[in-house]
Chains A and B, each alone.
Chain A
Amino acid sequence: MPSRGDSDTATERWRLGDREWGSRLIVGTGGFRSLEQMERALAASGTEIVTVALRRVDPLAQGSVTELIDRLGLFVLPNTAGCYTARDAVRTAKLAREAFRTDWIKLEVIGDDRTLLPDAPELLLAAEELAADGFTVLPYTTDDPVVARRLEETGCAAVMPLGSPIGSGSGIRNPYNFRIIVEQAGVPVICDAGIGTASDATVAMELGCDGVLLASAVSRAADPVLMAGAMRRAVEAGYAARRAGRIPRRLHAQASSPEEGLAELDG
């Protein structure tokens, strides 16, 4: 296998849905203190895809997220955040398709307002209906390999297991499940939720994820623009390390200097 320079792996394109992408980092737009700060952070992250939520039009609201995203030339991925049933999620997805002229949807069906964990049965119902209706479905799911497989079977374009609960910043709590999900998946695997800092994103990529989706880790950082740049490099580093092939973990040491040819110095 030819050696690949770091810049090659960083720019290697990948496929999600029916499109090719350069960046493997997807950024949620929630939680930024201002649109101006969001704009600078998105630019620093190098992302090409950003998520938005759908909410009631408020005639008094200032500034437009849509306008900003258009100006930056980014791809809008609407979500179904706030939906607790398959029915609500499907309706929200259809509204998003009408509003943004896109059939891409980040499918969230929440089962519990304290943990914000997905409701797997409702999620599967919604995924099945939306995939059959021609949507490019990107489901936020638990890190359960069986649910991930079932989602793939419904026709989802990716599976997006959570590392830990939304906004918890706790990283990947079950890396073993991630390895199993990655090993069996025939669609891209994107770590969605739980990223707290750059090393969490790197771990996700080292585990074999094709991409990372995060929001709070950047938007609620003390310096979102600085963290956005850190996340870009973290995802690139993890992706390169995964492809480079890490050394096995050992209990004992293995010398890296030769044992032969040591000088006799005790006489």
Chain B
Amino acid sequence: MKVQLNGNEVELADGAAVAQAVASLGVGALTPGVAVAVAGEVVPRAQWTSRRLSDGETVEVVHAVQGG
């Protein structure tokens, strides 16, 4: 299946969870200061392995950058 990950289309195994998607960005369960939204809704870190993605879903993975 394909999902939109931070604006890029990526191919993931069917039934992949949020954890697999964020891993492709180098983000793991212990990476501090990261948050994930799927289809605009926050997915708490504790649910990264249980929240399965569907084909075409939008995943946003954000962290802190310099900003006023």
The residues of A with any CB-CB pair to B shorter than 8 Å are 28-32, 38, 51-57, 59, 64-66, 69, 76, 78-79, 81, 91, 94-100, 166-167, 193, 215-216
Contact = CB atoms under 8 A, between A and B. Distances in A.
B6 A30 contact: no
B67 A52 contact: yes
Nearest to B26: A59
A51 B67 contact: yes
A63 to B, nearest CB: 10
Contacts of A38: 66
A124 B2 CA distance: 38
Interface in B1-33: 6-7, 22, 25-27, 32-33
Given A56-B6, A91-B40, A98-B42, A29 B33 contact: no
Which of the listed residues B41, B62, B68 has the most CB atoms from chain A within 10 Å of its own CB?
B68
Interface residues of B, number: 26
A81 B40 contact: no
A99 B68 contact: no
26 contacts: A28-B67, A29-B68, A30-B67, A31-B66, A32-B66, A38-B66, A51-B68, A52-B64, A52-B65, A52-B66, A53-B68, A54-B35, A54-B62, A55-B67, A56-B61, A57-B26, A57-B27, A57-B63, A64-B33, A66-B63, A81-B67, A91-B41, A91-B42, A98-B42, A99-B33, A167-B68
Contacts of A76: 64
Nearest to B66: A29
Contacts of B45: 98
Contacts of A28: 67-68
Given A56-B60, A57-B62, A59-B25, A95 B67 contact: no
A54 B33 CA distance: 10
A57 B25 contact: yes
Contacts of B62: 54-57, 95, 99
B65 A65 contact: yes
B54 to A, nearest CB: 20
Contact of B64 (A59, A66, A167, A216): A66
Contacts of B64: 52-54, 64-66, 69, 76, 78, 99-100
